Amino acid sequence: MTSILADYYLWVKALHVMSVITWMAGLFYLPRLFVYHAEQVQTGEKSDDLFQTMEMKLLRVIMNPAMIATWIFGLMLVATPGIVDWSMVWSWTKGASVIVMTWFHMWLAGRRKDFATGQNTLTGRRYRMMNELPTLLMIVIVLSVIVKF
């Protein structure tokens, strides 16, 4: 199995990068939709249904599959011999950051359910602040993988 992973390393890496880009796009956009939804839409309005549809489709059709693909291809890279040196700090900082990013994804899914049930209590400002988390995590991940600090 490991020789197969080594043979297809560049393909797996390319698919991993494409999955990450797609997932990150959703992680940046969904909280922004929540900002506008919280600030400009009242529960029960026609635009409330529109926002809920956009949020649900973004999460289920784009973000969830991208997150799953990111994890699958990432774990395939981890299983490829010679790719990850667990004695170095970068692999642990990247791993921890990916776990936090996955938690954030799940947190967003919970907030989408709050909007769907009319129980959102967070402000647009709070969503704006939370929207910075994927950026910070991306910085840590990219620096970890490229600079290998």
Element (H, E) at 84: none
Residue 36, pLDDT score: 96
Residue 2, pLDDT score: 66
Residue 17, pLDDT score: 97
Among candidates 50, 35, 45, 40, which has minimal Cα distance to 108?
35
Residue 45, pLDDT score: 85
Give the residues of the chain that fall short of pLDDT 70.
Answer: 1-2
